[in-house]
Amino acid sequence: MSQFAINLLFVGASFALYIGIAIWARAGSTKEFYVAGGGVHPITNGMATAADWMSAASFISMAGLIAAGGYSASTFLMGWTGGYVILAMLLAPYLRKFGKFTVPDFIGDRFYSRTARVIAVVCLIVASVTYVIGQMTGAGVAFSRFLEVPSNVGIWIAAAIVFLYAVFGGMKGITYTQVAQYVVLIVAYTIPAVFIALQLTGNPIPMFGMFSTHTESGIPLLQKLDDVVRALGFQDYTGDASSKLNMLLLTLSLMIGTAGLPHVIIRFFTVPKVADARWSAGWALVFIALLYLTAPAVASMARLNLMTTIYPEMSGQVESYDAAANNPIFYEDRPEWIRSWEETGLITFTDKNNDGRIQFYNDANPDFADTEATRGWAGNELVVNNDIMVLANPEIANLPPWVIGLIAAGGIAAALSTAAGLLLAISSAISHDLIKKTINPAITEKGEMRAARISMGGAILLATYLGLNPPGFAAQTVALAFGIAAATLFPVLMMGIFSTRMNSAGAVAGMLAGLVTTLLYLFTYLGWFFIPGTNMLANTPENWLFGISPLGFGPVGALANFAVAFVVSRLTAPPPLEIQQLVESVRYPKGAGLAVDH
């Protein structure tokens, strides 16, 4: 069977499974559509949350980011997991006790304010739409690489599949497909990682292999990797970060952003009890960690594999790295996987010094210029896209073709599961918060169901359109989606639970302060509405306010939100008594089972 047929078989089988679930899990009521009936087992929900959370970026790009960034990229590992601690202790149990359907629902009711509800809906839509574009394009890339269709067609196929189970099944259909998608993606991620760990270290568990001895050279793997990259002018893989402030702020931004992202929070509305919401957050992190503990191992091993493929003399016990660096492979002798990835344009080679060999090194390092001149090198000749680290792993390690088929199905599962969660957050905010709670409160249950399905269909079309024609902000998921969730939604949710004194004026002013400061900071360095060339200051560390990178601005926006909300709420009247009682009631688990039937 050809590789194409195998890929088609794996992806087709996974799609058949999702469609089967879609037919079985049709939503009959708004409660089923929004929160899967509220009876999902905490472990099941943990698994669905893991798939909901782990996007195309986690599956395809994260290991490549770590491979390129080394220690500094640990930000993503800590940032995208640490948010669950905040969620489990500061948000999920109380929002579950509140027992409504959406995140703006809590903000609107708790702050007894239509304005607060609408601002929350706007923030939710901006964050979720930015996020969903990446999932659509991610699915498109996976389709075009593995199924030989243009990525446009891939995006349409992905949209059609999501349409089937999200429009008919709502949260119920999404929950059970996410469970299936989790299984597909974790198996696809782990198998190649285990083989590579075995090949490089003899240890079958990647997370341990990473810290053990590299078999070929007899020294620890990470030390070996440091030696190899140093000889080629790159920064030490385990070397310290250049700005600890930005590493800290970006990590914090990702953590509180994670906790404030509506598509994650609404997953915790589906479990039966408050205690289940706490346990479920723990299970979610266990399932997430299965991938997140493997990712740094994949990153370091794939980087070492890549380097020693180009410089074979560096792989064993090396007497002189300088001598080994002079003998990279000839372009003619490059392995098959480099050839096949060259066709996609994700690997490119230019023989700058015309010696027929591949010089792959860091030509941007001024301290390396002397070595470069002595060796007769005329610039880096190989450009490798980070995303290849996971996608090409099976080929680099010479694994059988079915593993490649599995990676194809896994990458698409990661993109679809996250897309569906985001689309539900968007469509429920429209049908429940805008239509039912703001525009037409008299709408019937049946009418709201129809509105929910139409909003879902509309959201899918919008996501598809934006996936086909990505706007300037599409590449800004980290800055925009996490920045907004961190600076607007997270603080206001937290204050709604932990402060009985916080009132509607405070919440509205706080959200606006967080939103405006964050957007202004992003627009200053990244361009107005992210249009290239319209930025007022160059996006370089010298220009940043107190040296804070736009990516790490979320916590500063959150601080502005907290501060403004505090001051405004003290200057205005306290919330009415029944709201203070509502805050009291969300703090105590007793009675959550009833609260959902509102």
Partner 1 sequence: MADDKSNAAAYWKANLRLIIGCMIVWALVSYGFGILLRPLLSGIPIGGTDLGFWFAQQGSILTFIGLIFFYAWRMNRIDRKFGLGE
Query: Is residue 71 part of the contact set for partner 1 (CB under 8 A)?
Result: yes
- Minimum CB distance to partner 1 smaller for 167 or for 502: 502
Q: What share of the chain is helix, strand, coil (3-state, %, to 5)?
A: 75, 0, 25
Q: Does residue number 425 form part of the binding site for partner 1 (CB under 8 A)?
A: no
The pair of three-digit structure tokens given for residue 57, joined into one six-digit string: 């970026």
H or E segment and range at residue 449: helix 445-468
Residue from 8, 9, 19, 85 binding partner 1 (CB under 8 A): 85
| Interface with partner 1 (CB under 8 A), residue from 153, 202, 244, 322 | 244
- What per-residue string of b and e applies to 73-100 under the rule 16 or more CB within 10 Å gives b? bebbbbbbbbbbebbbebbbbbbbbbbb
Tell me the H-state helices in 87-150. 92-98, 103-110, 114-146
Q: Does 205 bind partner 1 (CB under 8 A)?
A: no
148 binds partner 1 (CB under 8 A): no
Interface with partner 1 by CB under 8 A: which range of 103-111, 277-285, 464-472, 510-518? Answer: 277-285
- Is position 587 an interface residue for partner 1 (rule: CB under 8 A)? yes
Q: Do residues 361 and 338 lie in contact, with contact meaning Cβ atoms separated by under 8 Å?
A: no
Shortest Cβ 272–partner 1 spacing (Å): 9
Taking a C-beta distance cutoff of 8 angstroms, is the pair 405, 1 a contact?
no
- Name the segment binding partner 1 (CB under 8 A); options: 53-61, 66-74, 174-182, 431-439: 66-74
Helix (H) or strand (E) holding 384: strand 382-384
- Cα angle 323, 326, 332 (rounded to 5 degrees) comes to 140
Any contact of residue 598 with partner 1 (CB under 8 A)? no
- Residue 286 touching partner 1 (CB under 8 A): yes
Rule CB under 8 A: is residue 318 a binding residue for partner 1? no
Interaction of residue 544 with partner 1, rule CB under 8 A: no
**Buried b / exposed e across 555-592, counting CB within 10 Å, b at 16+?**
bbbbebbbebbbebbeeeeebeeebeebbebbeebeeb
Closest CB 213 distance from partner 1, rounded Å: 8
Among 9, 144, 194, 279, binds partner 1 (CB under 8 A): 279
Residues recorded for the chain: 598
For residue 60, the one-letter residue type is I
The contact pattern for partner 1, residues 221-240, with x = CB under 8 A and - = no contact, is xxxx-x-----------x-x
Find the binder of partner 1 among 48, 229, 259, 274 (CB under 8 A). Answer: 274
253 makes contact with partner 1 (CB under 8 A): no
Residue 182: strand pairing partners? none
Cα 541 to Cα 528: distance, rounded to the nearest angstrom? 19
Q: Which C-beta is closer to partner 1: that of 289 or that of 454?
A: 289
Is 293 a residue that touches partner 1 (CB under 8 A)?
yes
In the list 122, 275, 346, 454, the residue contacting partner 1 (rule: CB under 8 A) is 275
DSSP letters spanning 540-580: STTTSGGG--GGG-HHHHHHHHHHHHHHHHHHSPPPPHHHH
Residue 214 Cβ vs partner 1, minimum distance, rounded to whole Å: 8
Binding-site size for partner 1 (CB under 8 A) equals: 54
Report CA-CA distances (Å) from 259 to 58, 419, 521. 17, 18, 22
7, 55, 58, 81: which one contacts partner 1 (CB under 8 A)?
A: 81
Applying CB under 8 A, the residues found at the interface with partner 1 are 66, 71, 74, 77-78, 81-82, 84-86, 88-90, 93, 207, 210-212, 219-224, 226, 238, 240-241, 244, 247-248, 251-252, 273-275, 278-279, 281-282, 285-286, 289, 292-293, 296, 584, 587-593
